[in-house]
Chains A and B, each alone.
Chain A
Amino acid sequence: MQTEQATVRGAGRAGPVVLGVAGVVSLLLLWQLLGALDVVPRSSLPGPWSVLGALPTILSDQDFLAGALDSAAATGLTVLVGSLVAVAVGLVASSFAFLQRPTMVVVNTFRSVPATALIPIGVLIFGLGMQMKVSIALYAVVWPILINTIYGVATTEPMRRDVARSLRWGWWRQQALVTLPSALPSILTGVRVAVGIALVVVISTELLGARYGVGTVLVQYTQASRPEVVYAGVLLLGTAGALLFSALVRAERRLVRWVHHD
């Protein structure tokens, strides 16, 4: 009886893994089938084995690795600067009633302009380097972080504000010890969304002309008619993105432990 239950429970825990493996296997089969049946030409969709076989090529390509570093640096810098600016603006805009309406008008106007549409202008102003990538990506990430900051500040428990006033804390201390922590869960969600957006925009600038980056390298392989290497690169980026996301979610949980107990 005991062992039977243990087995059942073990199977329950293994369930997602089994499902995941089954999913990946069927996807690979479908992929192989599409090529074998000539539904999609080999030149646009190489088979899974040739893509996996191209992984060593892309992983040993110095340009790809340097490009990945460049893209990561651009994304990281964007998220860092974007978070600092958006959180600071959000805190200030939220604490003065007369700034609240104008801020929302500005946010709603500008965030509806797609950042990728600004790439040509970015190129004209900043050229094809890091500065252009970061500027365009910054434009894309400040809005979601700003909105989440303003929203998070608005969820601050009024009683905690009263406690802070009653303890005779000044504006700075109230922001640092009450408002910011209250808004933190929402801010972190905004930052996580921003990481995704920054990655998309940075790689877009690279596909559309930036001089360095993973996107640039993928374009070069496309032009050299090496689709299996392009797919291998995309596969790597996808995996890296998924790992980054789950790391961010875990970091978020650690940073706002109290949320899940309130």
Chain B
Amino acid sequence: MNVVVDRVRKSYGRGAEAREVLTETSLTVRSQEFVSIVGPSGCGKSTLLMMMAGLLKPSSGEIRLGDEPVTGPPAGLSVVFQDYSRSLFPWMSVRRNLTTALTASRLGKEEQRSRVEHALESVGLAGKGEMYPWQMSGGMQQRVAIARALVTEPTVMLMDEPFAAVDAQTRADLEDLVLRVRHEYDVTVAFVTHDIDESVYMADRIVVLAANPGRIAADLTVDLPRPRDQVETKLDARFAKLRSEVFRLVMRPDTPASA
């Protein structure tokens, strides 16, 4: 399902205090597409994503999921938050973290159980359902967070810098995991990151945001073959070209392209 950001603007604060964080922005994430949203810290990536998630109201403009205006968190849309340690529920076992994510879906007990087991298996955590998040490593906890997002079998998954807090090795594993489950679950993904390599490696399309005020600086198509490979893909000349282009856009968004 398409996610449409239609002339959306966002400012925080009121009156004289008001600060525009995102100028009028339009963007469509097409069905089945994997879009990276990349930009410097504080440029409004999270703000944009939270509005797409229905967790934050735009100051003006409209978000639509398919043809439906988003006025609150919609069914069929999942969010993976930035910090797993603050987004999982430590008082619940892993299995319960996933099962409670299904309450709004109103499924039978049996269907719930098989969904949960399947999601755990997909992220490589089969048999770990009885553990508690605080008994797990950071990488495993982020897998739980991904499984929780997938268990509802969403059409759209929004991810906010999901791997910012894990080490490089784990990060590469999780990147490939997301690329795999994305196909398994047939899900449309908007993936926020401040890591330029990651934005290129993951995406079909890269939306580069610039700061002060937040706005779209560029919208680039990634013509790299799939499946991606941590070594091969990054050796590809097109990867290097995209990478440096995104780098230039992020660092100096207002200079012309052919520098």
Surface stretch bound by A, among B2-10, B76-84, B165-173, B227-235? B76-84
B20-28, B98-106, B117-125, B176-184: which lies at the interface:
B98-106
CB-defined contacts of A4 to chain B, threshold 8 Å: none
Least Cβ–Cβ distance between B19 and chain A, in angstroms: 20
Question: How far is it, in angstroms, between the C-alpha of A178 and the C-alpha of B135 when the chains are bound?
Answer: 20
**How many Å lie between the Cα of A184 and that of B92 in the bound state?**
14
- Which of B55, B85, B91, B135 neighbours the largest number of chain A CB atoms within 10 Å of its CB? B91
Partner of A166, one of B55, B85, B89, B92: B55
- Docked pose: A229 CA to B81 CA in angstroms: 64
In the bound complex, do residue A168 and residue B104 qualify as a contact, i.e. CB atoms below 8 Å apart? yes
Partner of B90, one of A166, A167, A173, A258: A258
For the complex formed, measure the closest distance between the CB of B211 and the CB atoms of chain A, giving whole angstroms. 23
CB–CB B104/A157 < 8 A: no
**B133 proximity list for chain A (CB < 8 A):** 258
Q: Does A163 contact B (CB under 8 A)?
A: yes
Q: B103 — which chain A residues lie within 8 A by C-beta?
A: 167, 169, 173
Given A166-B53, A166-B55, A168-B73: A160 touches B87 (CB 8 Å cut-off): yes
Q: Which chain A residue shows the least CB distance to B96? A: A177
Q: Is the CB of A159 within 8 A of B89?
A: no
User: Of A163, A169, A257, which contacts B81 at CB under 8 A?
Assistant: A163
Complex formed: what's the CA distance from A223 to B78 in Å?
72
| Band of interface residues on A | 20 to 34
Contacts of A178 in B (CB 8 A): 89
Expressed in whole angstroms, the minimum distance between the Cβ of B212 and any Cβ of chain A is 25
A181 to B79, CA, bound (A): 22
**Number of residues from B at the complex interface, CB < 8 A:** 27
The residue of chain A having its C-beta at the shortest distance from the C-beta of B83 within the complex is A159
A166 touches B78 (CB 8 A): yes
Give the distance in Å from the alpha carbon of A160 to the alpha carbon of B54 in the complex. Answer: 15
In the assembled complex, the Cα of A178 lies from the Cα of B103 at a distance in Å of: 14
B12 at the interface (CB under 8 A from A): no
Q: Which of A159, A165, A166, A167 contacts B100 (CB 8 A)?
A: A167
Bound Cα distance from A256 to B90, whole angstroms:
10
Residue of B nearest to A177 (CB): B100
- A262 on the B face (CB < 8 A): yes
A233-262 with Cβ < 8 A to chain B: 256-258, 261-262
Q: Which residues of B contact A38 (CB under 8 A)?
A: none
In the complex, the answer to whether B85 meets A262 with C-beta atoms within 8 Å is: yes
Whether a CB of chain A sits under 8 angstroms from the CB of B132 is yes
A159 CA to B56 CA, complexed, in Å: 13
**Chain A residues at the B interface, C-beta cutoff of 8 Å:** 157, 159-160, 162-163, 165-169, 173, 177-178, 181, 184, 256-258, 261-262
User: Which are the 9 A-B pairs with shortest beta-carbon distances?
Assistant: A261-B134, A258-B90, A168-B104, A181-B91, A159-B86, A166-B73, A166-B79, A157-B86, A159-B87
Q: A167-B100, A184-B91 are known; give 15 further A-B pairs, CB within 8 A.
A: A157-B86, A159-B87, A160-B86, A160-B87, A162-B55, A163-B89, A165-B73, A166-B55, A167-B73, A167-B101, A168-B104, A169-B104, A177-B92, A261-B134, A262-B85
> Can you report 13 A-B residue pairs in the complex whose CB atoms are below 8 A from each other?
A157-B86, A159-B82, A160-B86, A162-B81, A166-B79, A167-B101, A169-B104, A181-B91, A257-B132, A258-B91, A258-B132, A261-B90, A261-B134
